[in-house]
Amino acid sequence: MHLLLFFICILTVSQATNDNQQTALWNLFKRVHKKQYANILEEQYRFVVFTDNLAMIDRHNHEADIGLHSYTLKINQFADMTHEEFVRKMLNGVKMPSKTDYMKKSNKNSLHPPSDVDIPAAVDWRKKGAVTKVIENQGQCGSCWAFTATGALEGQHFLKTGKLVRLSAQNLMDCSGEFGNQGCNGGWMDASFQYIKANKGIDTEASYPYEAKDGNCRFNPKTVGATDTGFVDLPKENETALQIAIATVGPISVAVDASHSSFQFYSSGVYDEPQCSSTNIDHSFILVGYDTFKNSTVKKDYYIAKNSWGDAWGDKGYIWMSRNKHNQCGIANIGSYPLV
């Protein structure tokens, strides 16, 4: 009986310590991410969601410590959201326009990479100055497509002119509706490239800042930051062509299946999600390079992807997506880039 009481006391102290740690992390989370709630009942509910997410993250990271996963997770701005809320609010940004006439008018081109091209083992366009810093955060607005389009054009504009100019995602959201884009309700990178061509340019971010909501078009031809002459689509489901394009062209716009808790809370390492769909595409970003992770027991190819959820998400705003893993998450399904 005394031994039983001893273990009960140990468990009680352990639980109390765990509760105190959860409360401390919760208060830190609210302060860091400036969280406020409508009332005490809402905050209590969000705390329960937070602790559930925290338990899942801890479990995953313990498994990663013993080699069961090639990446880790962390608490971020989405930690007080259920996964269903995260999917509904954050993953509605990639939509093929219902209008197809923009494709008929466009200078669409297709990449046909030679089979014998010699490409480097690793590429990182950030080191060459072709990628803007991660400061953008799309918020709870389905505008990933706009940031993906501007990111790809920023890279091509830099490689042609030597000038790295941050371009306006808000300009695309407010002004490209006739090409099938729907602002916070989603859009398509190719349609954005076609709008920029027809519009004879896109504003700079400085002249047309991001607002995370739909607004009236305020494009100013006097503050154009870049333009394009069309776009190129990569061969579907062809990772060899995707790697060649990244190596020889520059940052490439792509879209993936991001509808997993592992993506929601990604922190570092090579993202390898067996449950990823190659057809359920719901989020876009730009690939700015690729490389291979190696240690004494593991070798994993990966793409370097720049996301639009701020630098508090992932690895300072980036994620290493699995490469040469049977088109995992559909990463090679809809690659494209603008022509300048």
Q: Is the distance from CB of 273 to CB of 139 less than 8 angstroms?
A: no
- Please name the residue ranges forming H helices in 100-249: 101-105, 144-161, 169-175, 189-199, 239-248
Give the Cα separation of 137 and 78 in Å (integer).
13
- Give me the torsion for CA of 230, 90, 183, 218, rounded to 10°: -90
Q: Is 144 annotated as catalytic?
A: yes
Catalytic residue among 92, 181, 307, 333: 307
Tell which residue, 287, 294, 280, 296, has the closest CA to residue 321: 287
Catalytic residue among 53, 60, 141, 144: 144
71 forms beta bridges with 269
Axis crossing angle, helix 144-161 with helix 189-199, rounded to the nearest 10:
60
- Give me the torsion for CA of 28, 30, 31, 33, rounded to 10°: 110
253 forms beta bridges with 286, 336
Tell which residue, 195, 138, 206, 193, has the closest CA to residue 166: 206
Q: Is 175 annotated as catalytic?
A: no
The angle subtended at Cα 165 by Cα 163 and Cα 168, nearest 5°, is: 160
Q: What is the DSSP letter of 184?
A: T
Q: Which two tokens stand for residue 80?
A: 């007080």
Q: Is 184 annotated as catalytic?
A: no
Q: Is the distance from CB of 131 to CB of 167 less than 8 angstroms?
A: no
Q: Is the distance from CB of 196 to CB of 202 less than 8 angstroms?
A: yes
Catalytic residue among 157, 175, 283, 327: 283
Which residue type sits at 109?
A: N
Q: Which two tokens stand for residue 246?
A: 């990244």
Tell which residue, 213, 291, 283, 293, has the closest CA to residue 253: 283
Q: Is the distance from CB of 155 to CB of 126 less than 8 angstroms?
A: no
Active-site amino acid positions: 144, 283, 307
